Amino acid sequence: MLAVLEKICGKLERRETIPPTHLPDILEFFQVFADKCHHAKEEEFLFPAYQSVGIPKEGGPIGCMLAEHQEGREAIAVMKAGLAALEKEGPARFVTHARHYMALLTAHIDKENEILFPMGDAALPQNRQAALLADFDRLEETRIGPGKHEAFHRLIETLEAEHLRHSINAR
């Protein structure tokens, strides 16, 4: 979805037409799938489990992740405001904040994959990790609802076909 958003930012800067549902759908994806689902799983279950085995919150990777979660929420709110003002103000505000969010989320994912998750995998016993997966599934069902995860994957596929594959085929 980050690659799709980057491609759309370029199109906005070139004043190309974007289907009217694409940006609201992308913002919903980031707000619901990335934040209310992924970040909520971390904040409610994973980070407390990590802390229980000695991975520090303050001055450690968990505190950094939590600060970035909040920064991401603020960036999404600013992007929504930029989207609301897109016709009146033009794309600069939206694109600036979208690119900030993309950089933030890309770095955040790298830190998770390269530092935090390997640290947690080494510290948490397998039975605790299995219990966390069950907690994650429950949160997803109750927080975003049945079938929404799959709907977001279909959205990604649709937007990739429109904005990424289409531009590759046009070359």
Report pLDDT digits (tens) over 73-122. 999 999 999 999 998 999 999 999 999 999 999 999 999 999 999 999 99
- Give a yes or no: residue 156 inside a domain: yes
- Give a yes or no: residue 155 inside a domain: yes
DSSP symbols for 66-107: HHHHHHHHHHHHHHHHHHHTHHHH-SHHHHHHHHHHHHHHHH
Q: Give residue-wise pLDDT tens across range 8-27.
A: 999 999 999 999 999 999 99
- Give a yes or no: residue 170 inside a domain: no
- Give a yes or no: residue 16 inside a domain: no
- Give a yes or no: residue 57 inside a domain: yes
More confident residue, 9 or 167: 9
Q: What is the CATH number of the domain that holds 28?
A: 1.20.120
* Domain membership of residue 48 as a residue range: 2-6+21-160
Query: How many domains, the chain?
Result: 1
Collapse the DSSP code of 57 into the 3-class scheme (helix H, G, I; strand E, B; otherwise coil) and give the result: coil
- Give a yes or no: residue 118 inside a domain: yes
- Give a yes or no: residue 127 inside a domain: yes
How far out from the chain centre does Cα 120 lie? Answer: 20
Residue 49 · residue 135 · CB < 8 Å = no
Res 171: pLDDT = 42
* Side chain identity at residue 142, one-letter code: T
- Distance, first Cα to last Cα, the chain: 21
- Give a yes or no: residue 167 inside a domain: no
